[in-house]
Amino acid sequence: MATYSRLPGSVALITLQNPPVNALSAAVRQGIVDTVQRALKDPKVTSVVICGQNGRFCGGADIREFAGPMLGPPLVPMIHAIEAVDKPVVAAIEGVALGGGLELALGCHYRIAHSKALLGLPEVTLGLLPAAGGTQRLPRLIGLTAALDLITTGRHISAAEALKLGILDQVTDSNAVDLAVDFVRSVAGQPLDSRRLSTLACPCPPDVDSLLDKVMAQVRQRSRGALAPVACVQALRAAATLPYTQGMEKERDLMATLFNSGQARALQYAFFSQRVVGKWSLPSGANWNNSTGRTISKAAVIGLGTMGRGIVVALALTGMSVVAVETQEKQLAEASQAVPAMLQREAGRRSLATPPGVITFSSNLQDVSEVELVIEAVFENMALKLQVFRHLASVCGPGTLLCSNTSGLDMDQLAAVTKSPALVVGMHFFAPAHVMKLLEVVCGPRSSPEAVATAMQLGKRMGKVSVAVGNCPGFVGNRMLKPYLEQANFLLEEGATPQQVDEALEEFGFPMGVFRMSDLSGLDVGWRIRKEAGLTGPGVEPSRTRQGRRYSPLPDQVCEAGRLGQKTGRGWYQYDGPGGRVARSDPWVHIFLEAYRAQHGLVARSIAPEEILERCLYALINEGFNILQEAMAAGPEHIDAIYVFGYGWPRHRGGPMFHAGQVGLGRVLERLEHHHHNHPDVPHLEPSTLLRRLVAGGSPPVQKWREFINKDRVHS
């Protein structure tokens, strides 16, 4: 709702009240309509200030209401009514003015903000556009070019930038409401015509069409199939070329299309998923609300390869001091050059609240004895990691948290060689660790709530989306990736080319298909893991069945040919040279695939993109259902957040589990049964029990799956 008070000097103060972000719910909109009317009618009131409770102006439309019928007064006429008021209205912006919140402020005649406030029109990130006049008023205020940038990216901007762009009239380091009240008294009685943005012309560059065409082309390329950014450009074209009223009609029509699209639902689900995963819980009942983590001020990282270096930077950016240990002298020398440069670059890109912490380089494990938390990031080899953990257990105090950056090894085995297994958790970062948003926090059976809470809090401090997951081979992300990669290889055996597989996946919205991605990461990573698992290497039978299931030796043979991906200039594609980035089709690969098929008596067939998508994506999704059933992820939102933030799953498709719901669980089940029938030697294609149970239960929406998962556990 909104409260009304009359301040000395004839100023009416309207305060939005809807914690935590004063979103514009039906009750708040009704409150604004009523209080603005009251201010208008009160002859003693000469001016109005609108602010938000608890130092937050407004976080925009109430996203929770989008799922239900539209109730209460609509935003557009409400904002029009404010703009039309003949007493000056000032928005006093503290905290945030986002989406509908900024649109409300744009309907006011003046805008004053606190210097720490953030402003923006992030609707595009929710699959929408700013449809309360934002696409029409903002370009009239700051010009088409700047509005295109803000609205198509949805980025939040600082008060300083908003002042420079002309969105704000004043910025203050002290109380924005007090300043707004003083200010509005000083402008009472002055003409308001030039302050009504809807009446202004939109400032445009002379070559407006070519600008709009250029931006549209960029947006289409960047958005990988997302509809909202394209609609934003269309709405801004209307602002630049049509009168205001017609522009508003265009905005409304585009919004109606977006609002009812599956993409908007997916993106709003992704918004809430990101928040759900922060509220972790363990099977023991310990959770984010009843567990306290430690505040870490000094940490250490062991192993300064690519991952270790990124982790050092991510930790130092939080302001904590970091001991960076590497026992190989050459690697240490390289890292002590590279890491400070990485830190400086990254600190320059962000506006840090505290200066970066001090990094001390060392070749001696003994130097970590004083730290509160250690992250081991040595080579992915159990024997080596066990050796490091044993060493750490003898060097560190009994209260030190010991974490591993393993991407899939058994955390419990590592915990077993320490003195305090309860203080051992996995912290699985994604490369580059100082940039990628995802962190899997791996909870072993003995990890204490305190250890999990500490890792989750540390993830948050590093700006990560941290997801608590269970301890199983590959955890959640890599475990699901395995059947996906496996299907991609089988498709090559059956007749597809790497380009065909990659194109189908990129068309779906992945930034890179599986083979281009593997070339980028290095093909030797998986090769080493398969050798460790006894799947390939000297003495292993070179057949297409290994350890009792279908196996494709294709990637092993590519590695054996010295083709390790971009780093060697050759992999599934060819590059300009070692380290080259542009993938080109390689005749060697086609000859190699033909020879391979001939050797194994395989007849190549033409494979449609639909089959490529079904085989790769449904195998991955099926494993997601197994993970849910085994409680290795607390809910579908956790899996979806992992895939959106760590594996390039297109955000406008919500995540793999949400996508399964959109496709229809019955359809996913039917296609898995079909492919499993054709490939009975591929266990990953056998539909999960949970999927069958959900379909039998009427294919409930993703938010209801937990009921079925819990039922499953009671019965198992």
131 versus 286: smaller Cβ distance to ligand 3H9: 131
290 versus 394: smaller Cβ distance to ligand 3H9: 290
Q: Work out whether strand 2-7 and strand 11-16 pair parallel, antiparallel, or are unpaired.
A: antiparallel
- Do 423 and 393 form a contact (C-beta atoms < 8 A)? no
- Do 516 and 708 form a contact (C-beta atoms < 8 A)? no
278 versus 666: smaller Cβ distance to ligand 3H9: 278
132 versus 442: smaller Cβ distance to ligand 3H9: 132
Q: How far is the CB of 25 from ligand 3H9 (least distance, A)?
A: 8
Q: How far is the CB of 59 from ligand 3H9 (least distance, A)?
A: 4
100 versus 636: smaller Cβ distance to ligand 3H9: 100
Q: How far is the CB of 493 from ligand 3H9 (least distance, A)?
A: 45
- Do 148 and 236 form a contact (C-beta atoms < 8 A)? yes
Nearest to 647, CA basis, from 513, 468, 461, 522: 513
Q: How far is the CB of 19 from ligand 3H9 (least distance, A)?
A: 8
Tell me the C-alpha distance between 402 and 621, whole Å. 32
Q: How far, in whole angstroms, is CA 580 from its chain's centroid?
A: 28
Tell me the C-alpha distance between 138 and 122, whole Å. 13
List the catalytic residue out of 65, 83, 94, 103: 103
- Do 105 and 91 form a contact (C-beta atoms < 8 A)? yes
Q: Is 103 a catalytic residue?
A: yes
- 549 phi, psi to nearest 5 deg: -140, 165
In sequence order, the β-bridge partners of residue 172 are 114
Tell me the C-alpha distance between 421 and 390, whole Å. 12
506 versus 640: smaller Cβ distance to ligand 3H9: 640
List the catalytic residue out of 65, 83, 94, 123: 123
- 449 phi, psi to nearest 5 deg: -55, -35
Q: Which residues of 620-633 are buried (b: 16+ CB within 10 A; e: fewer)?
A: bbbbbbbbbbbbbb
- Do 359 and 326 form a contact (C-beta atoms < 8 A)? no
Q: How far is the CB of 268 from ligand 3H9 (least distance, A)?
A: 9
Residues that bind ligand 3H9 (CB under 6 A): 20-21, 23, 59-64, 75, 96, 98-100, 103, 122-123, 126, 128, 130-132, 134, 275
Enclosing H/E stretch for 90: strand 89-93
Q: Is 249 a catalytic residue?
A: no
* Cβ neighbours, 10 Å, residue 654: 29
Category of 446 on φ-ψ map: left (φ > 0), alpha (ψ -120 to 50) or beta: alpha
Tell me the C-alpha distance between 675 and 274, whole Å. 33
214 versus 279: smaller Cβ distance to ligand 3H9: 279
88 versus 107: smaller Cβ distance to ligand 3H9: 107
Q: How far is the CB of 597 from ligand 3H9 (least distance, A)?
A: 51
318 versus 536: smaller Cβ distance to ligand 3H9: 318
Assigned token pair, 12: 């009416």
Q: How far is the CB of 167 from ligand 3H9 (least distance, A)?
A: 15
Minimal CB distance residue for ligand 3H9: 99
Assigned token pair, 341: 């440069």
Q: How far is the CB of 212 from ligand 3H9 (least distance, A)?
A: 21
Q: How far is the CB of 539 from ligand 3H9 (least distance, A)?
A: 54
- Do 464 and 641 form a contact (C-beta atoms < 8 A)? no
Tell me the C-alpha distance between 122 and 271, whole Å. 11
* Cβ neighbours, 10 Å, residue 589: 23
- Do 53 and 23 form a contact (C-beta atoms < 8 A)? no
Tell me the C-alpha distance between 542 and 536, whole Å. 8
73 versus 580: smaller Cβ distance to ligand 3H9: 73
Q: How is 355-400 classified by DSSP, letter by letter?
A: PPPPEEEES-GGGGTT-SEEEE---S-HHHHHHHHHHHHHHS-TT-
Enclosing H/E stretch for 80: helix 75-84
End-to-end CA gap in the chain? 48
Tell me the C-alpha distance between 611 and 588, whole Å. 25
**Residues annotated as part of the active site:** 103, 123
